[in-house]
Amino acid sequence: MLKIFRKVRHNMIKNRKVTSYLLYAIGEIVLVMIGILLALQVNNWNENRKQKSELNNILNSVKYDLETDTLVASQVARIYDTLQVKSNLIINKQLKKENYKDCLACVSLTTFYSPFNIQTKGYELLKTVTSQTVSNQRDSLITDIIQVYDLYKPIIVKNNERLENEVMKNLNELKEYPWFVDLSLGRFNDEMVEYFTESEDYRKRVALHNMLASNNHLAMIKNYKAQATEILKRIGERLNKE
Amino acid sequence: MDGFNIIMVIAIILFARLGVRLVTGYIKMKKETKEENKEPDA
């Protein structure tokens, strides 16, 4: 009888020990899981911090590009504004043989262009980052920057090409005139002055050049400048906030 | 070393520690049971 009681007591002690060991094991496993979750959390936080810092560097780069672009755009716009005023003199037949000296630059209206090239270093970096991370695509500032570049870059490049082709075509055609060498040396003669002030051909060329340069190119440059200024303001606000 | 590797290292360390603690705990439990089994005979 005593032997049975002893056996029961031993079994009870043994069961209690196994239960407490299992509880201890579960506790240890839970601790490990908590440890891994914490490590993941810290890692995520660190990754986000690194991503944010990288994004800020890129935004600084975009800011620098846009600042350069707005400066250059202002200069180019000023040049084309002047060109437009002079082109209007020819188009409206206000320049005559007698007063051609009032606008000596009017002879080079169709052979002049000022290319405007957008700086895209920051934009390229931004595109790489947004293609790697999905979260940035929800950022309205970044989406707007990419949209502005995507919209204006090809148009401005195309306008530059058009103007360049037009200017080269004009130069090649002017080359055929006997007074071309005099023109290149800045010497004026009657035939040349007559062509630039009274010929319908030159008037049409000026009108076309004006259309491409002032109506298209200049308008796009001004629009781009306005958008760039707006984005610069937003980037400034974002960088100051962080 | 990228993020994934750091997490792997931490996980390996934690699991190794878990293994050691479980094994030592088990050995301790066995030892205590053995000692308690001996006690009534003494």
Q: pLDDT for A206-233, tens place per residue?
A: 999 998 988 889 999 999 999 999 999 9
Distance CA A139, CA A145 (A): 10
Of A233, A237, A218, nearest to A74 by C-alpha is A218
What is the length of chain A? 242
CB distance A86 to A95 below 8 Å: no
Q: CB burial class (10 A; 0-12, 13-18, 19+) of residue A3?
A: exposed
Number of Cβ pairs closer than 8 Å across A and B?
A: 42
Say whether pLDDT at A141 is over 70: yes
Q: Note whether residue B42 is domain-resident.
A: no
Residue A67: predicted pLDDT: 95
CB contact under 8 A, A21 and B29: yes
Give A13→chain B minimum CA distance, Å: 8
CB contact under 8 A, B29 and A39: no
What is the length of chain B? 42
Distance CA B7, CA B30 (A): 34
Distances (CA, A) of A88 to A75, A77, A95, A143, A211: 20, 16, 9, 40, 11
Residue B42: predicted pLDDT: 43
Q: Note whether residue B11 is domain-resident.
A: yes
Structure tokens at A48: 């986000």
Give A11→chain B minimum CA distance, Å: 10
Q: Note whether residue B7 is domain-resident.
A: yes
Q: b/e map of A200-224 (b: 16 or more CB within 10 Å)?
A: eebbebbeebbebbbebbbebbbbb
Nearest CA in chain A to B5: A43
Q: Which of A6, A31, A32, A44 to mutate to test the interface with B (most CBs of B within 10 A)?
A: A32
CB distance A116 to A76 below 8 Å: yes
Lowest mean pLDDT among A106-120, A129-143, A200-214: A129-143
- Domain boundaries, given as residue ranges, for chain A: 52-241
What does DSSP assign to residue A94? -
CB contact under 8 A, A39 and B22: no
Enumerate the H helices of chain A as residue ranges: 2-91, 121-132, 140-174, 180-185, 190-198, 200-210, 219-241
Structure tokens at A140: 């309205």
CB distance B28 to A24 below 8 Å: no
CB contact under 8 A, B33 and A17: yes
CB contact under 8 A, B6 and A43: yes
Is A96 in a helix, a strand, or coil? Answer: coil
Q: pLDDT for B23-38, tens place per residue?
A: 999 999 888 888 877 7
| B32 in A contact zone (CB under 8 Å) | yes
Structure tokens at A104: 């000596």
CB contact under 8 A, B32 and A17: yes
Distance CA A205, CA A83 (A): 13
Give B11→chain A minimum CA distance, Å: 6
Give A123→chain B minimum CA distance, Å: 26
Residue A11: predicted pLDDT: 77
Domain count for chain B, please give it: 1
Distance CA A196, CA A97 (A): 9
Q: pLDDT for A20-29, tens place per residue?
A: 899 999 999 9
Distances (CA, A) of B29 to A68, A93, A199, A205, A212: 75, 109, 111, 101, 91
| A21 in B contact zone (CB under 8 Å) | yes
Q: b/e map of A121-141 (b: 16 or more CB within 10 Å)?
A: ebbebbbeebeeeeebeeeeb
Mean per-residue pLDDT, A7-21: 80
Residue A135: predicted pLDDT: 55
Does pTM top 0.80 for this prediction?
Answer: no
CB contact under 8 A, B22 and A32: no
Which residues form the domain of B6? 1-36
Distance CA A196, CA A96 (A): 9
